[in-house]
Amino acid sequence: MYIVSKFKDYYDFVVFETDNRKTYVRQEERFSLYSKFKEKKELIDLIRYVSIHTISLETEEMLCRYFIGTVLFCNEFFPYLYDVKNHKYFYSYKSIPAKMREVINKLLSKKAHYSLEFFFLAKEDTKDYLQSNFLINKEKENRKIKFNSLCNVPIVFSFLKDNLHPEIIINGRLQNIKFGKVKTPSEAYTDIYNFIPFIEPELDSNPDDMNRYESKGFDVKLSFRNVK
């Protein structure tokens, strides 16, 4: 797979297959949460979904303290928590300290109808168990929607620019959000390789024998009969 991009990412050095029929044009696009998509109507549902799962949580001093973001990677959903002050990323609910969960849920209760458990689809200890269970089950169904395939982009994620401004980035640099905690370089490369479709070479309507050989990957400079 060939990667055409203006930047490098953490999985770029992994090369399992140099098949030129697979090319990933990694052209980055950035949108604010409140962008009006006059020219990108095909991305409206995707951006709306990521926006709902993106929240900045401020302290009383109006400083962003925590950021809940979302990664849609090759039709998989990965929520994450960013501790702005300590520059730490959490992709697992269990890895978040209990005291931090409590603080975040208090902040969420003032700003959103969802809890931290909802974003991570974790079991929630609440009096309103039926409502909580209903929301989580509904969210599980929503996460089965293949937004990446619908929009033909393997990478979409929300990001906190300058620790202040939430953005949604398409085909962005995963290293910026420490996505290596979730996918190793080999796993990320393989998933993207499998996501990118093959581009079959165009052949003449009546190709000669040499063109037939080349279309199958043979080198016409070598003799098939005398190769040792």
Question: By C-alpha distance, which of 183, 199, 179, 190 is closest to 15?
Answer: 190
Choose between 114 and 80: higher pLDDT: 80
pLDDT at 135: 77
Q: Which residue ranges make up each domain of the chain?
A: 2-215
pLDDT at 220: 53
State the residue for tokens 């520059």: 87
> Considering the entire predicted model, what is its pTM?
0.80
Is the pLDDT score of 126 beyond 70?
no
The answer to whether 168 and 33 have CB atoms below 8 angstroms apart is yes
Q: How far apart are CA 137 and CA 116, in angstroms?
A: 15
Q: How far apart are CA 160 and CA 165, in angstroms?
A: 5
- Greatest mean pLDDT among 4-18, 35-49, 172-186 lies in 172-186
Q: How far apart are CA 34 and CA 61, in angstroms?
A: 24
Mean pLDDT of 90-102: 94
pLDDT for 201-227, tens place per residue?
A: 565 555 555 555 555 555 555 555 555
The mean pLDDT of the chain is: 82
The answer to whether 156 and 28 have CB atoms below 8 angstroms apart is no
Choose between 168 and 38: higher pLDDT: 168
pLDDT band at 132 (very low <50, low <70, confident <90, very high): low
Q: Are strands 155-161 and 64-73 parallel, antiparallel or unpaired?
A: antiparallel
